Structure 1
Amino acid sequence: MKKITKLLLAIFLLTITLQSCSTDSEETTMNASELEKELALENNGILTVADATYIFKKTGETAKFINEDRDFTFKFVNQLSYKTSAANKHAIEGLKITNPDTEEYMVFSNFEELKNGLVQFDAELSTGEVLSSLTYKPGKSNGSLNKWHDEPVIGDTTPVIGAMIEFSQEGQLRNCRAALEVCENTNGVPTVALTNGKGWFTSIESCALECHD
């Protein structure tokens, strides 16, 4: 009888332990920040500029976060034209990306390979703005950083250019904020469709809001 009692007690304690672990796991998932949830999904690369994190989604959109909080998701409607040239291809001391229509440019330099597949670098825009310690991590589809000595490690440059343009045009996008708040207040997920003119850093010609369920 004592053996049966001990067995039942052991089963009871095991059940309680398993339920506790399951609850802890569910709470951890529930408590995960929006940024952590997005980072857990497969993506085409991640760029951080100051307190902004840009996640290049498989859908072609870019999810922007400020610290841990989602700012909004955006995409460029028009194609961004550019040409690239490396100052020193093997050392990748400088990667210059130029707008062929306006000669605006951005220069990425001082590349440093960090842990966990991250690359740190500095950026200088033709507007005179200088940004330090940006980080970039390629998505799984972009392969490893074995490209370091053969070609620029930024990979597919278009999303990075788009993120840099958006970052430099934050003031211009304030007109979209009211519509963004309306969408968010109805529990919608906003995506901003940006139309840029020939100039990168002059102004965003238009922004249209798509509110998804």
Structure 2
Amino acid sequence: MKNKIKLVTGIFLLTLTLYSCSSDSEETAVNALENELALENNGILAIESTTYIFKQTGETAKFLSENRDYNFKFVNDLSYTTTEDKHAIEGLTITNPETGEFMIFSNFEELKSGFFRFDVELSNGQLISSVKYKPGTASSSSNKWHGDPLIKEPSPVIGALIELSEAENVKQCRAALNSCSNTGGVPTIALTNGKGWFTAIEACSLVCHE
């Protein structure tokens, strides 16, 4: 009888321990995104389960669901031109003056949560629907997009959309990324883009922050 009691107690404690570890892991993953969102930022871009947070340091923090994927920044400046009326929302077109590549923004909707929802058509044929954007908490403007240009220069939104379209080409850094993350570090990728936005990443280097 005592052996049975010990066995039942052991199973209960093991189950409790496993549940506790699982809960701690989930809480840590959730807190990573929540902690980043709690900081002042220059805006948030959400595309399905991917969230981009534009940090005041100039880097962009990328999250897949609640998990941090990596931080990134472009080494070279991303030059672009906008349609003549920068205050126009519907049909706003961003063009790469070097190659003629473009992004067209449409179907804007202002949400009660402070986000704006819209679609983006890329010149490589990709259509990104239901993109959500929220202006940064660091911005002191109360007019949001109503009184200011929709895409300010320079805009991290452009960089995030380019990074999203180039996700396959960033795989060359994936092994180093995983090694950094597995040791508890926060990886930051420095991306060097050529003249083309949607062709290929020319170089990818990584710094692992403790």
* TM-score greater than 0.5 by the shorter chain: yes
Counterpart-to-counterpart distance in 2, 1:41 and 1:203: 32
Aligned length in residues: 184
SS in 2 for 1:141: coil
- Whether 1:112 aligns to 2:117 is no
Q: 1:103: which partner in 2?
A: 100
Residue among 134, 137, 151 paired with 2:134: 137
- 1:159-170 alignment to 2 at 5 Å? 159-170=156-167
Counterpart-to-counterpart distance in 1, 2:104 and 2:151: 12
Mean Cα deviation higher: 44-53 or 30-39: 30-39
Question: TM (normalized to structure 2)?
Answer: 0.81
Task: State the Cα distance separating 1:172 from its structure 2 match.
Answer: 0.5
Structure 1, residues 14-43: CA drift from partner, whole Å, max 9, x if none?
Answer: xxxxxxxxxxxxx9xx65431111101110
Mean Cα deviation higher: 162-171 or 144-153: 144-153
Give the alignment's Cα RMSD to 1 decimal: 2.0
- Whether 1:196 aligns to 2:193 is yes
Letter in 2 for 1:49: I
Counterpart-to-counterpart distance in 1, 2:127 and 2:46: 15
- 1:21-40 alignment to 2 at 5 Å? 32-40=30-38
SS in 2 for 1:116: coil
Structure 1, residues 77-112: CA drift from partner, whole Å, max 9, x if none?
Answer: 00000011167945x211100000001001111111
Change (3 A) 1:49 1:56: same
User: Which structure shows the higher helix fraction?
Assistant: 1
SS in 2 for 1:35: helix
Q: 2:12: which partner in 1?
A: none
Letter in 2 for 1:50: E
1:165–1:201 Cα contact (<8 Å) kept? yes
- Whether 1:207 aligns to 2:197 is no
Change (3 A) 1:88 1:164: closer
Q: Give unpaired runs (5+ residues) of structure 2.
A: 1-23
Letter in 2 for 1:133: S
Q: Give unpaired runs (5+ residues) of structure 1.
A: 1-26
Residue among 172, 177, 180 paired with 1:175: 172
2:135–2:144 Cα contact (<8 Å) kept? no
Letter in 1 for 2:168: G
Q: State the identity as a percent.
A: 60
